[in-house]
Structure 1
């Protein structure tokens, strides 16, 4: 109270409203009274049916997304009418968050184009409604809402207890593309791997009979660049393809999947995990400046989140005019280093799934870190674009030349025991 009185005295009667102090509510900081015990268990009111879990705690959209990613898989994506009907199981609620948000992308980056908007929605009332809710008072139709509203929400859950894929080890040496053709003709595709449970399943198909390297479906499409702002309304014909590379991209160390702009306006690919300043694009109505320079070091994905929260997205560059506008902003600020823009790419799976799971071989005293795009291999630098499982390295992954001839893993068929069946058996 002595300090509280000191706080009051600093105002000296000159102000009688509210003022911030440093206390804030970290909603994920729960801990037990016994201070040396980690919070390994909590009992939030969550109900799961099929692969969907509804959480009855009221959170804003970003908090709900974070909760789903920590405790399940992500906020729910709805890909078709069947899944939308399953959501109706929770029709006793009024509104709940789902994974669709500004730029009409799904939280888990899936490419579903299904929608179920209520008539007149989305309407972006007040120029602030960027997240999506299911309105059960309107037969499950969708509305756009202010992302800061506190609502229940629905997660989806890819259970780690069971894999939906059956893997097959093919002990025949083929190039990556030949292996892809074989898998598509005889099974479903080259192996896609979503989690460590599936990674262990891949390993078990070999059963100790082979300890070399074998192809899986992940490959590095060096031409798959796209903009973070993935909204067709922002682009005219040809504008998505504008580039200003300077002796780039070269994917020099094998993991350069994001793009920096230098003080001369040249573009270069770089590791997304590097901490850099960044440029946001502000496409909201009545804005006085379309490009905003943020002189704060963040990774590319952190920068993307910042720009989406406070503006529209990381900077898009659709033509030479906009490129010059960006240079005017950066030169006027006197900034002469590198900044993130919104261009990026991903490694792709042969079956075009959106899995982001990786299991790269880390650096040790004996080996270089993977992927490296052949950086340390004489004659192969810049030519290792396909991925193998290294059985001699506990299944960890390496990038190799796609023309090398190796055995490979296919997947095909559905497993008999689904997650709910396992729960019931137990």
Structure 2
């Protein structure tokens, strides 16, 4: 087959699923948690799994669309039943690796998380980690996900054609997105330009104002092209919080609590006085985004680390019957007796892993014959959702709907979306006519370029 003809075939069918890889459904009938789970599995995919703050908003929107007076109090798919202790990072998509941990000698011990509320309990103390009582108030470190990478970009740029003043543009972005664009390096510059139309020549506002500060809270300006990005906010003595309060503050005002070894290493390079402080120093310790998730898991088996417990929740230690999670009136979660009857949220999964070994072209036709298309990934949330499916593949990589055309010299998604969000792994050089994109089953689940004539992998379809 001529490659120009293949380009027409793979791009000639639009299968967008609205930019979301799952759909939430609010069910107003009151059921116990187990009855709700059975209902969702029979009529949808499962009880709702929540992977990030965007999903939290989508849950609320799904309920208010049916019941405008909805005030919370509905089951989600989180339940206390995981038999093993698991450490997780607060920021979705950052996975904990014990071999990279930096525990202090004798840590973690049984004095912190085990005998208190056992979830949110890790602080950085003198550059190493201790588990500790999550109710204690400390300073904390927030991370600003400008466009720095944890395996992909943590933000997406959106070019808005409406003409507004800088203040009007800032207000618009804060209402509809996160903020006016922040630029931390040359890669961000290119992504910013790529987000505009091809022939756009006029000026456009970004989030920089005199005396040269970024609009986004906590992001410092460096006129010498910040290589790693001043992407951290450090609370002061007047802003000390317990772990849960610190997490909520960071999510409301920045991106999240600092999460992952890479972010901690960047922090130590940028703030050596904090990273090397002694345990007696006034600058130590700080809460970081590592928490112990010893016995709560999602109904569908997903491994998402995102949690949004209300203050003093969960209460399973005080009341052993409160083993199931529900939404609350303020949008967070609380624990409740699983035998109580409540409305609930189901979800429909829009992607499926196919454990058949095929070339990329055969996988494309299989998805179109049996489902909708090979999956596209256009943002960080979709990356997190798809990589959960990739983890159970029987091949080291899984095909995505990502293809290179040498005729037109660019990469494209077969569903016709532009490749703006990118998650390429290191050393992915070379663009040949028979190159397609696949996701690594392990590690950071980054994308790789593979010759589809020589490789047969599992693949992920959109439904």
Could you tell me the TM-score, scaled by structure 1's length? 0.31
Structure with higher Rg: it is 1
Say which structure, 1 or 2, has more relative contact order (CA 8 Å, 6+ apart).
2
